Amino acid sequence: MLALFVVLGLVAGGLASNSCTTEDRREMQLMWGKVWSAQFTGRRVSIAQAVFKDLFHNVPAAVGLFDRVDGSDVNSNKFKAHCIRVVNGLDSAIGLLSDPSTLNEQLAHLATQHKERTGVTKSGFAAIAQSFLRVMPQVASCFNPDAWSRCFNRITDGMTEGLPA
């Protein structure tokens, strides 16, 4: 009997360490909402651009995937607008963590949009996840990297379904 409890405890511990819990998503929504609100002038561009600058610094080959939106000039209006769209997609997904059935539809939509782009891979998403982890603590106060990562992965798992590794 005791052994059963131990096993159950381990199972629960194992689940808790990987999945985006209700507490995690509340925390993520709080961390994100405080830096991203539409009322703050200029913040979005700075944050989104910082994420892509970090990605391109660490994965130079990624720049070529964004030719259509002037990826080689991160300060162009076209690329800044692209940055905003990408991070806005994340914003929607973070909001929808509270409504999983709608979130799944939205992630499937984003997955389709990414499958159409040759060169976009699961490892690319892992790289941009690291970029967010480097940028967010610089702009968010009281950043919780563990809760953030668990829920970020929940989102990218849905977005990268069907993409090459």
Partner 1 sequence: MKSLIAFMCLLAVAFASECGPLQRLKVKRQWAEAYGADYSREKLGHAIWSHVFQHAPAARDMFARVRGDNIHTPEFRAHAMRVIGGVDMCIALLDDEDILNSQLGHLAEQHSSRGVDAASYDTLEHAIMMAVEEVIGSQVFDEDAWEPCLDVITAGIQG
Q: Using CB under 8 A, list all residues that contact partner 1.
A: 29, 33, 37-39, 41-42, 44-45, 77-78, 80-81, 84-85, 88-89, 91-92, 95-96, 98-99, 101-106, 109
114 is in an annotated binding site: yes
In 3D space, the residue among 107, 105, 86 whose CA is nearest the CA of residue 153 turns out to be 107
Smallest gap from residue 165 Cβ to partner 1 (A) = 26
Cβ proximity to partner 1, 95 vs 137, nearer residue: 95
Q: Give least dist CB 128 to partner 1, A.
A: 19
Shortest gap between Cβ of 6 and partner 1 (angstroms)?
Answer: 37
Least CB distance to partner 1 at residue 50 (A): 15
Q: What are phi and psi of 131, to 5 degrees?
A: -60, -45
Residue among 18 and 37 whose Cβ is closer to partner 1: 37
Cα–Cα distances in Å, from 136 out to 50, 59, 130, 142, 148? 10, 19, 10, 10, 10
Whether the CB-CB separation of 35 and 139 falls below 8 Å is answered with: yes
Q: Which is nearer to partner 1, 38 or 61 (CB)?
A: 38
The DSSP 8-state label assigned to residue 20 in this structure reads -
What is the closest distance, in whole angstroms, from the C-beta atom of residue 82 to partner 1 in the complex? Answer: 8
Distance CA 143, CA 70 (A): 31
47: which DSSP letter? Answer: H
In angstroms, the CA 114 to CA 151 distance is 20
Instruction: Report DSSP state, residue 38.
Output: T
Q: Which is nearer to partner 1, 18 or 104 (CB)?
A: 104
Nearer CB in complex with partner 1: 72/102: 102
Annotated binding site for heme b, which residues?
Answer: 114
